Structure 1
Amino acid sequence: MDKRTARVDIADVDVIAPNFKRRLSGVTSTIVQLVPMQRAIGQRVATLGPGLPADLPHIRFRDLLSLWRLPAGRSHRVWHARRNTEMLPGIFLRDVLRMPLKLLFTSAAQRRHSRYTKFLIRRMDAVIATSVRSGSFLEVPHTVVQHGVDLERFHPPAGPDDTIAATDLPGKYLVGCFGRVRHQKGTDLFVRAMIELLPRYPDWTAVISGRITPEHTVFGDGLKAEIAAAGLTDRIVFLGEVDDIKPWYRRLTLYVAPSRNEGFGLTPLEAMASQTAVVTSDAGAYAEMTIEGETGSVVPAGDGTALTTAIERYITNPDATIHAGRKALAHVHANFALEKEACALGEVYEGLLSQKATRR
């Protein structure tokens, strides 16, 4: 491997993880975190495509011409797609160019698939669902492999910089909501809950971090106007898109994920790995990662009243919330380590790589 660019020799690659979207997304973030772990435990995985860090193990598009040349000891490789735009090229390479590939698709969607997506999925050699709920929308056999979180990158508070005192914000405790600022993410539900609750709980301050894209500027400006009208501009603070979100998780006492719709949704896991209790909607896989009443609470997606009530149970008793954060940390370490996800994927890869090559 070229250490300057992390380019990998195609001859040493068993699994190709394409990423055909330049803009940062949850799928991209998954690939960025997962591939180094997979390589560390001996899986010969390489990425392909734009929008990824240069130091991530990768191959070039021109290397695809070498896919007819097999890696040592294998009769084919695995093409691991996570989007429609990655399934289709895999089908072309395997079925039109006759390259020796097995196709794997990971689905996180929490909705019925379009006819086109179903068409693509039926042509996969294996399918993974990131949660039981996402698997319920698949009409083919599949394996559930839940996402994990990097427990070295996301960890409990370790010093003065991991406290509210390091932020110059008022109060003793922070409650936060991170992610793109838009209706789908439920940012408005969080803001309105804070407008209702914070006047009664002066020890708490709320922070919101995330990008406001041009098409959601009106939405974001409307929320800021509501906060100003309530006289809470200094206690409900928009951080914008921060360079490093990890310390902010550690500074929180409570994290809120109020999404109306999600694929999987990693932020509650990142919060719990940082020893922070969570209140979430039941979108995505949130309900499958939260132990109700122990590591946090789950409410129906889009229900602002239920969300406000659940948040209040935690901010009214900070000591109990801190204790829930400790339980959340233990829960994530036991069940959602990134290495566990990588090992589960490795089992799927080996199952495909051990199959006989087939001609289509």
Structure 2
Amino acid sequence: MTIRPVASVSLVNRYNQLNFEGNKKKNQHQNSNSTNSISHKLAVPLAATILAMSPMASSASNKYVDRIEDTIELYEIENLNNYEQSDRKIIKHKAYSYEASYQKPNGEVYKRNEVRVVNFVSTDNNDSTFEEVNIGVIDDTDKSNPKILKTYDLKDFCEYNYEIVSSDNSASNNFSLQQMFINDIEKEQNSNFTRDVISEKEICKFVRSELESPRNNSGIKVTTYDRKIRPASSYDLQNVAPANTMKNAVPCDYSKYKRLGSQDYKGKNGNYNITYYSITGADEIELVSLKKDGGPALTVRANIPAKATFFAKDSEPQIIEYGIVELKDGNDRKHYISDMDLTNALTIIYNDPASCYNVFTCKPGNKVYNISPKGALIPLN
């Protein structure tokens, strides 16, 4: 499900900024695993967030506010002035609603409505800058009883720019991804370090705009990694760009075959000549060759309209489409070209029974990946 931004709504001053540290200290003795505990670092305008999320008729507003205020009492500290007396102040925030999926130990999958609240916090009495970025996760499945699940500190923001490099060193199907690395505040304070990731586009876009603004005094910058990757024999993407193996590839010898015709195609990263042959001498296409930009003529062995899915477990997985064409030279060595225009052309040829159905392999592929902090692809299937 796509993440939905939640508009900000102001409540009375008493509930405008909440500090939940007092409740955390009180509840630790009662239940160390309580989902309601939260660090002082997340001063969430909780009531405003929940009101903004929940459409309601104006006639029901007062009753709904009463219910929210009752809920807030569960979290409220005894002295709200503690927050005001500190140097911490939220200068900007935004909330996002989405549906999260989880799996129980027995394999059962369940879903719940969650809200991520992003806070930009000033800690130096200067409201024009922020020194921290905090993210809170709220279980909003029960609208009358929202629960604080976790709070995080933003530590790193990374952008990854990828080029899919073919065996002739041409590049196309370029794409970019972003992810934010966040630390669980409670575990970090208990020296039980853990790091999670947020990759949803809308959240990343919002946070990045603030990190690149003059208000950013946090020391957190956008780190960019440029990586070249390659299509491989398993039709997935691998991390090391190839050498130009097609430059000295041994051309295939088609002189003993009957030539039936040819076509020229213009792709995203080159021009191609596709030629059709009969191996048996009949008037049926039994072999297809490809020659790119005056290079050697090679035999088409496979054509893969592929998809790469990133962040599959997130609420908003990102899918990249790309093409892989596998070629074989005169020494039976394999080479790969990634050009979506070429893949689309070969797919049309493959699907035409009058041309070369089953002469080469043509089947879609779908691979799933995670990304390391420095942008290395981690295949999951």
TM-score tier, shorter chain, comes to under 0.3
Under a length normalisation based on structure 2, what TM-score does the superposition of the two structures give?
0.21
Higher RCO (C-alpha under 8 Å, 6+ residues apart): 1
Under a length normalisation based on structure 1, what TM-score does the superposition of the two structures give?
0.22
Structure with the higher helix share, 1 or 2: 1
Structure with the higher strand share, 1 or 2: 2
